[in-house]
């Protein structure tokens, strides 16, 4: 077989005609996107636009109803979620799905083991285990060093969001999907989150759903706007801010935040 | 520290308890407790109530019966050092298989599917004669002599039960702190997120059931050495419900609950006949269960714990 140069391989994410149907309703329909490695992309759109569904399809939480998803040039459309994670993809959830019965340390530890391997070990841990040290580094990165031994169920809302991000940063992710990381944060916590996002290594591709315009536009270099499950507009933050159609469906129509 | 608190009086029991108490009360309670522990383990750390623990115990029991000395002329006789590991492997595999079948089920559905498996196994043992010897089952099952110690004698048998019970508790407590044990608890809390950190959930669930099968199997072996027989009745609905009742009475939140429940159950089972008719035992245990569920949902262990913490926290009189 002749080896051909695949120019698509250069893209961190390339999706073509992706759709997800629930019964007769297309929550996401015919969405095509290209994201370059290291790009910071914000996904905007009013409630019900299909942003989270798009994320669920990208990670494999939901099966794709139509279209293809390529990550790093490889077709992952049929790949189970945990294998996509091993390939460098990470995500956070809008409503924190965390291990409430475990401590912060154990949650971060498992996130490291999930990618690096070693979760299958059934002997009690040695204290000098490498994954534990990595978990402690993650805690430092996400500002949870003081909470390492706390049970996740007892964390504050803001700390839960920090843990979400800490878990997603385990083992050098290539691409991060952040689903409303600022949701429910107090105004004083928000700048800290923006700072954390901006401090992430530049080679990580980040796709961000965020209702907080301040955070979304400050941390991203391009924006995609979804409306009724379809791609409405794409461009730089400045372009999007001045886009008529976007103003109509989103900026103008967004109440209550 | 706390383990020693439970263990010390039990280890000293041979000094003051007679053979009946050693074997029929304490030995029986400990062997039932080990089987119930496997249920408590799944309930507390995987979040699943399994009705198939008696089945896993039965698989180990039947393996020992088939390959060991018995008086019904079925099976082969192998040395005990082959039989015992084989029985444990079979129980572990049966746990893994049941886990594989039940892996997607939670709550009431997990109860239904494990119950279905358990009842199917019961009817299978009753109808199959070549391996399970049908209705009659196996009798004349005798514990071996190991290293010159006759395990059929009351004191060695009791100490064996105590050793296995303590070891299985230590095993559970160590296992839940291992990476795999933590992953099992993570699956209990958020299976979706387990996938999102790159861990497939099926092998985790299967491993939890397999571990429960290993624990149940060790209790199952003790149980047939105590009874000296096994038949379809040993894996029927009665024993299945007994194990569940033991686990619930003791408390499903902590491994030690299984043993507290087992001792309470065996005491009731043995001495209730002195006060009520034998036929009324199910009524009595039903009432006890009802009282526990309504008055102390975390079982006797939960009840004791809340009493202890309440008396510890009782504030000193405040001077005004």
DSSP string, B228-265: SEE-GGGGSHHHHHHHHHHHHHH-SSSTTHHHHHHHHH
Count of structural domains, chain A: 2
- Residues lower than pLDDT 70 in chain A: 1-10, 127-128, 250-257
pLDDT in tens, B267-280: 998 888 888 877 78
DSSP string, B37-105: HHHHHIIIII----S-HHHHHHHHHHHHHHHS--SS--S----HHHHHHHHHHHHHHHHHHHHHHHTT-
> Is the residue at B202 inside a domain?
yes
**Within a domain: A124:** yes
CA distance A61 to chain B (A): 8
- Do A73 and A178 sit in the same domain of this protein? yes
Q: For chains A and B, what is the number of CB pairs under 8 angstroms?
A: 96
Q: Sort out which chain A residues have CB atoms less than 8 A from B198's CB and list them.
A: 82, 85-86, 114-115
Interface test with A, best of B174, B198, B199 (most A CBs within 10 A): B198
**CA distance, residue A241 to nearest chain B CA (Å):** 33
Residues of B in contact with A175 (CB under 8 A): none
pLDDT bin (cut points 50, 70, 90) of residue B309 is confident
Say if A220 is an interface residue toward chain B (CB within 8 Å): no
Give CA–CA dist A132/A113, Å, rounded: 9
The answer to the question of residue A148 being in a domain is yes
This complex has an ipTM of 0.88
| Segments forming the whole domain that contains residue A160 | 98-171
- Domain check: are A78 and A179 in the same one? yes
Please tell me whether residues A71 and A104 are part of one structural domain.
no
pLDDT above 50 (res B263): yes
Does residue A143 sit within a domain? yes
> Out of B185, B200, B211, whose CB is closest to A101?
B185
B320 in a structural domain: no
Q: Residue B180 is nearest to which of A101, A111, A121, comparing CB atoms? A: A121
What pTM, to 2 d.p., does this model score? 0.91
Contact B194/A114, CB-based, under 8 Å? yes
Q: Are residues A181 and A167 in the same domain?
A: no
pLDDT band of residue B313 (cuts 50, 70, 90) is: low
Where residue B69 sits, what CATH number does that domain have? 1.10.3470
User: How far B198 CA lies from chain A's nearest CA (Å)?
Assistant: 4
- Give me the residue from B188, B204, B211 closest to A101, CB to CB: B188
A73 and A33 housed in the same domain: yes
- The predicted pLDDT at position B174 comes to 93
Q: Indicate the residue among A145, A171, A197 that finishes a domain.
A: A171
Specify the number of domains making up chain B: 1
Q: What are the Cα distances from residue B155, in Å, to A9, B21, B95, B162?
A: 72, 11, 31, 10
Q: Mark yes or no for CB contact A59/B196 under 8 Å.
A: yes
Please state the rounded mean pLDDT for residues B287-306: 87
What is the rounded CA–CA span in Å between residue A184 and residue B224?
A: 58
Task: Tell whether A2 is covered by a domain.
Answer: no
Give domain status of residue B67, yes or no: yes
Same structural domain, A76 and A17: yes
Continuous H helices in B128-236: 154-175, 179-189, 191-196, 201-227
Residues of B in contact with A125 (CB under 8 A): 177-179
Whether A3 is in a domain gets the answer no
CB contact under 8 Å between A97 and B192, yes or no, is yes
State which of A171, A200, A232 marks the end of a domain.
A171
Residues A186 and A78 in one domain: yes
Q: B159-198: per-residue pLDDT in tens?
A: 999 999 999 999 999 999 999 999 999 999 999 999 999 9
A-chain residues within 8 Å CB-CB of B181?
A: 122
Shortest distance between the Cα of B176 and any Cα of chain A, in A, equals 8
* pLDDT value for A238: 86
Tell me whether A124 touches chain B (CB under 8 Å).
yes
- pLDDT per residue as tens digits for the range B67-123: 998 888 888 889 999 999 999 999 999 999 999 999 988 888 999 999 999 999 999
Residues A137, A240 share a domain? no
- Which chain A residues contact residue B208 at CB under 8 A? none
Question: Do A103 and A81 reside in the same domain of the chain?
Answer: no
- Look up the domain containing B305 and give its range: 3-313
Three-state secondary structure call for residue A213: helix
pLDDT digits 0-9 by tens, B145-161:
888 888 889 999 999 99
A214 touches A197 (CB < 8 A): no
Structural domain contains residue A78: yes
Q: State whether A142 and A182 are in the same domain.
A: no
| A167 and A181, same domain (yes or no) | no
Q: Is residue A93 part of a domain?
A: no
Closest CA to A66 of A107, A31, A37: A31
Answer whether residue B318 is part of any domain.
no
The answer to whether A101 contacts B181, with C-beta atoms less than 8 Å apart, is: no
Provide the pLDDT for residue A216.
85
- In a shared domain, residues A127 and A141: yes
pLDDT band of residue B304 (cuts 50, 70, 90) is confident
Task: Read off the DSSP letter of residue A175.
Answer: E
């Amino acid at each position: 077989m002749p080896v051909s140069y695949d120019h698509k391989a250069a893209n961190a994410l390339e999706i073509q005609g992706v759709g997800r149907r629930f019964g007769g309703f297309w929550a996401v329909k015919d969405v095509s996107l290209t994201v370059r490695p290291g790009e910071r992309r914000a996904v905007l759109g009013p409630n019900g636009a299909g942003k989270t569904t798009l994320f669920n399809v990208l990670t494999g939480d939901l099966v794709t109803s139509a279209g293809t998803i390529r990550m790093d040039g490889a077709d992952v459309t049929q790949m189970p979620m945990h294998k996509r994670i091993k390939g460098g993809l990470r995500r956070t959830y809008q409503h924190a799905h965390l291990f409430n019965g475990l401590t912060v340390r154990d949650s971060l530890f498992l996130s490291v083991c999930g990618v690096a391997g070693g979760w299958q070990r059934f002997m009690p841990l040695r204290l000098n285990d490498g994954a534990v040290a990595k978990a402690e580094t993650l805690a430092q990165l996400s500002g949870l060093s003081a909470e390492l031994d706390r049970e996740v169920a007892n964390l504050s809302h803001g700390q839960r969001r920090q843990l979400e991000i800490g878990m997603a940063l385990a083992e050098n992710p290539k691409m991060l999907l952040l689903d409303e990381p600022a949701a429910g944060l107090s105004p004083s916590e928000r700048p800290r989150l923006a700072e954390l996002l901006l401090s992430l290594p530049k080679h990580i591709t980040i796709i961000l759903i965020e209702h907080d315009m301040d955070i979304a536009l400050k941390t991203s270099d391009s924006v995609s706007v979804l409306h009724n499950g379809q791609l409405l507009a794409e461009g730089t933050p400045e372009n999007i801010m001045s886009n008529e159609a976007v103003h109509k469906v989103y900026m103008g129509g967004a109440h209550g935040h | 520290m706390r383990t020693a608190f439970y263990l010390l009086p039990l280890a000293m029991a041979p000094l003051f308890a007679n053979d009946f108490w050693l074997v029929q009360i304490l030995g029986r309670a400990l062997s039932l407790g080990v089987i119930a522990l496997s249920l408590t383990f799944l309930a507390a750390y995987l979040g699943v109530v399994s009705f198939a623990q008696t089945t896993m115990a039965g698989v180990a029991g039947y393996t020992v019966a088939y390959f060991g000395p018995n008086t019904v002329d079925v099976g082969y006789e192998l040395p005990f050092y082959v039989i015992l590991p084989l029985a444990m492997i079979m129980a572990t595999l049966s746990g893994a298989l049941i886990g594989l079948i039940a892996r997607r089920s939670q709550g009431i559905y997990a109860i239904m599917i494990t119950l279905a498996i358990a009842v199917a196994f019961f009817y299978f043992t009753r109808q199959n004669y070549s391996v399970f010897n049908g209705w009659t089952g196996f009798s004349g099952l005798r514990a071996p002599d190991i290293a010159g110690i006759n395990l059929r004698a009351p004191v060695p048998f009791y100490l064996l039960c105590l050793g296995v019970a303590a070891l299985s508790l230590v095993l559970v407590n160590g296992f839940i702190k291992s990476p795999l044990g933590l992953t099992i608890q993570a699956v209990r809390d958020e299976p979706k997120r387990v996938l999102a950190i790159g861990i497939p959930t099926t092998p985790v669930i299967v491993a939890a059931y397999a571990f429960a099968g290993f624990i149940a199997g060790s209790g199952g072996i003790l149980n047939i050495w105590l009874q000296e027989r096994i038949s379809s009745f040993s894996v029927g609905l009665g024993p299945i419900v007994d194990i569940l009742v033991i686990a619930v009475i003791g408390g499903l939140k902590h491994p030690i609950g299984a043993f507290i429940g087992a001792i309470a159950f065996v005491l009731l089972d043995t001495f209730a006949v002195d006060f009520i008719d034998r036929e009324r035992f199910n009524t009595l245990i039903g009432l006890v269960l009802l009282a526990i569920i309504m008055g102390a949902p975390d079982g006797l262990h939960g009840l004791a714990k809340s009493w202890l913490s309440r008396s510890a926290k009782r504030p000193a009189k405040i001077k005004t």
